[in-house]
């Protein structure tokens, strides 16, 4: 019985943490991703849905977004069925319209880009390029 009480307390702490995290912030994106990867999403379903809805309603590519944050935010929203345009990745292109070679050194960013690019819809050229770029450099 003590273990069950500890689990309930842990879930209360997770809920509190989720509510305390500023919406659309990198911390919210990372926290939501971590909860999903740990398989706890079903226990925090309402809170995560509310966080994702807030994230979608205020969705913009922040000027200080790095490849990891932009890719992660895109993936989280796209996998939940939100209509997110892939042009958020244009920021990471060079003058020739190709992904900047400097991104090849950003392994966490490449992995997040790879996961995001796998949610492409037919005809989304930038995601096709993102998939090829991230695959080649991972």
Q: What is the pTM of this model?
A: 0.82
> What is the tens place of the pLDDT at every residue in 90-137?
999 999 989 999 999 999 999 999 999 999 999 999 999 999 999 999
> What is the tens place of the pLDDT at every residue in 39-58?
878 877 887 888 888 888 87
119: buried, middle or exposed (CB in 10 Å: 19+, 13-18, 0-12)? middle
Question: At residue 21, does pLDDT exceed 80?
Answer: no
- Hey, is 81 helix, strand or coil? coil
């Amino acid at each position: 019985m003590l273990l069950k009480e500890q689990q309930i307390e842990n879930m209360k702490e997770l809920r509190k943490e989720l509510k305390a995290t500023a919406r659309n912030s990198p911390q919210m994106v990372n926290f939501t991703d971590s909860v999903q990867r740990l398989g706890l999403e079903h226990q925090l379903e309402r809170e995560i849905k509310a966080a994702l809805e807030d994230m979608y309603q205020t969705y913009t590519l922040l000027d200080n977004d790095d490849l990891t944050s932009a890719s992660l935010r895109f993936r989280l929203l796209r996998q939940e069925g939100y209509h997110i345009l892939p042009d958020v990745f244009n920021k990471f292109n060079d003058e020739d319209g190709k992904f900047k070679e400097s991104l090849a050194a950003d392994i966490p960013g490449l992995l997040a880009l790879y996961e995001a690019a796998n949610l492409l819809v037919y005809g989304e050229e930038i995601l096709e390029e993102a998939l090829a770029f991230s695959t080649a450099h991972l």
